Amino acid sequence: MSSPSIAPGRQLLLSRAIPMTWVLLLAMAINGPLLMLQVPNYSHNANLHKFFASHYAQRWFDPWNEKWFTGFSQTTLPPLAHQWTAFFSRFISLNLAYMLTQLIGILLVVIGVYRYSRIWLGERGASYAALGSIFLGSMALLVYSEGDLPTVCAAGLFLNALPYFYAWSRASKWTSLLKGIFLAVAAAATQLSTVTFGTLLFGLPVLVTAIIDRRRDERETSGAAVLVRAIFFAAVAAAGIAVVLWPFLKQPSIPQMSLPNPSRENYFTNFDTLITYWILPWGAIILALPFIFSRGLRESRYLPLFLGLWVTLIFGLGGTTILTKMVLGDRYDLTDFQHFNFWATLMSLPLVAILAVQLINRHGQKAIISLGMLAALTFGFAMGWPAFHPDTDTMLNSGEISSFMNRDGHDTYRYLTLGFGSKVSEVGTDTIASSIDGEYSPGRLLPELIPYGSLQLTNARYYGAKGMEALKAVLKHADQYGLRYIFVRDPYYAPLLAFAGWRTEEIYDQGIVILWVKDGVPPAHPNDYAGKPTTMDGLMWGTLPFGSSLMALLLVLVLPERRRQLEAIEFPVITSEEPLLKEAR
């Protein structure tokens, strides 16, 4: 019921959907300047993703990377986000290419939330959900604190695939099948875990909703027919993913060594963890949780979406409940539950949009101002929190280290960094020499590192006795690996190096970094502990993942969905809102 104090013309304006062009422009206006300032450069994983992209920029069809672990295959990580970054880096700098790919991922999420919400909501509600996705604290943390490029891009692609899955399952539209398949394959080529978990958490609610809606629009589709088409979609998508990611899927698995992760703690026993892993990602949506539970449980058509959201929310609580450990078993200690909060907040937006529609219909401009302030505070606090709890050390200047290794033939030997944290990837990107260590765990196939799984030598002290044992083993075989230079930022390692026969040589970065050298080490020679990818692997890796995204883009542009007139809906009046989606768009 609208407020009588609102003028009719203004009420009509407030009751309309927000054009998606405006929503996308706002997303660009908010994130564009932050990305142009390269704020994600200081995030936890940005350097890792730029390291992978830099290799594709130089050798697109050769996934063998000699810079880490004396050589490892980049087919151990789905490549699409890195390949697009590498493609853009041909025209702009690598840093700006990373920012551009991140911006595209953000826009894909906004469009995906809109189209995902259209399965349950009308045009107006879906536009509000898309608008809300711009201000999600969970996405701000992933982009600007974690630097998790693949998670954002994969979520955007997968959300865009789900409405086509819905349209195919309900109406057997072959164009929807093709577009949905290629978008799902592209999402898997970006990050397979998003599709694996997303199929259960996002996909099952969409399937159940398609069965509920099987007789909409005067169609007489049986529930069995909807289920069969959904299974066919899943089977074709799985086959496509298997072909596109075959070099990745055939990689041998190595044991992983768990590190303590705050997302696996009980949030209510640690205030900082509670803020970082729950309050900041959810932000003002926490205030809407009572409405989400009430509406999700009361309206039968929203029940599948609510149940999927509830399960994802529980997983987002990490170690706060015992349910996650019961479900994941041995995988629990290797899981980062921050991604589940991101997915849960995305799934909550359709229900939050219903609340926003009701508030605006009742209170008009006051509701708009209040909701805008809550959204801005959610985004602002998520952006500002890393300044008080930084994950990376921005004070370390790695340029001098890279310069040393790139001159006077120093690159004929291998090097190691100790105490560098995520700066390992920055050094690796700028250096042509090879390192014994690296930041990406599936590449650690050296005999000294295999028993310790995901152990990083640069942070060996934080792995306890096992970490120091691995470091001692590598130092013992320095001659075998051509390891002559060790850059040390943490003085904790100095006694061990001195005892092993290393000596200090130079000081860098105003005394922060000390170079240790071992005399008599022979030049490095190639090692092949990991097994180099074949020529066919390189051809598939350089063609199929990138090609799947191009094909998805081509199908969406060449085969647009027909637009039909959509009937308006008043959420506060009708208790069981029928979806206004005549076909997935």
What tokens does 211 get? 């069965």
Both 350 and 403 in a single domain? no
Residue 218: the pLDDT is 58
372 and 405 part of one domain: no
CA distance 358 to 125: 10
Q: Are the beta carbons of 187 and 194 closer than 8 angstroms?
A: yes
Cβ neighbors of 214 (< 8 A, separation 6 or more) are 170, 221, 222, 223, 225, 226
pLDDT of 1: 41
Mean pLDDT of 554-558: 91
One domain for residues 424 and 302: no
Same domain, 444 and 312: no
| Same domain membership, residue 494 and residue 361 | no
Residue 98: what pLDDT? 97
| pLDDT computed for residue 220 by the predictor | 63
**Least confident residue range of 88-97, 135-144, 438-447, 507-516:** 438-447
Q: Is the same domain home to 453 and 366? A: no
> Is residue 571, in this structure, part of any structural domain at all?
no
Residue 563 maps to a domain: no
Does residue 300 sit in the same domain as residue 384? yes
Which is higher by pLDDT, 215 or 176?
Answer: 176
Averaged over 122-143, what is the pLDDT? 95
User: Is 7 inside a domain boundary?
Assistant: no
Residue 142's alpha-carbon distances to 105, 155, 258, 349, 360, in angstroms, are: 11, 12, 21, 17, 30
**Looking at this protein, which amino acid is placed at residue 488?**
V
Where helices occur in 268-420 by DSSP H, the ranges are 271-274, 280-282, 285-298, 303-316, 323-328, 338-363, 365-388, 399-405
Is residue 318 domain-resident?
A: yes
Q: Which residues contact 342 (CB under 8 A, 6 or more apart)?
A: 136, 138, 139, 142, 151, 155, 281
Instruction: Using the 3D structure, point to which of 459, 490, 517 is the last residue of a domain.
Output: 517
pLDDT at res. 524: 87
Residue 562: its pLDDT value, please?
A: 62
The predicted structure's pLDDT at residue 444: 67
Assess contact for 245 and 189: CB atoms under 8 A.
yes
Q: What is the pLDDT of residues 308-357, one digit of tens each?
A: 999 999 998 888 888 888 888 777 777 788 899 999 999 999 999 999 99
The pLDDT of residue 264 is 83
Amino acid at 323: L
Considering the entire predicted model, what is its pTM?
Answer: 0.90
Residue 2 lies in a domain: no
466 and 349 assigned to the same domain = no
Residues 362 and 455 placed together within one structural domain of the fold: no
Flag the least confident range among 69-78, 281-290, 321-330.
Answer: 321-330
In a domain, 566, yes or no: no
Confidence of residue 448 (pLDDT cuts 50, 70, 90): confident
Q: What is the mean pLDDT of residues 451-470?
A: 78
Residue 166: domain span:
20-251+270-390+536-558
At 69 the pLDDT is 84
In a domain, 473, yes or no: yes
| pLDDT value of residue 158 | 97
Residue 1 lies in a domain: no
Dihedral over Cα of 392, 396, 399, 405: its sign: negative
- What are the distances in angstroms from CA 185 to CA 87, 444, 556, 563? 19, 27, 14, 26
Q: In this predicted model, what pLDDT tens digit does every residue of 183-232 receive, in sequence order? A: 999 999 999 999 999 999 999 999 999 999 887 765 667 888 999 999 99
Task: Read off the pLDDT of each residue in 505-525 and give the average, rounded to a whole number.
Answer: 88
Residue 294 and residue 372 in one domain = yes
If asked whether residues 442 and 293 sit together in one domain, one would say: no
The closest of 107, 106, 111 to 126, measured between CA atoms, is 111
Question: How many independent structural domains does the chain possess?
Answer: 2
315 and 371 in a single domain? The answer is yes
Tell the burial category of 366 from Cβ atoms under 10 Å away from its Cβ (0-12, 13-18, 19+): middle
Least confident of 126-135, 404-413, 447-456: 447-456
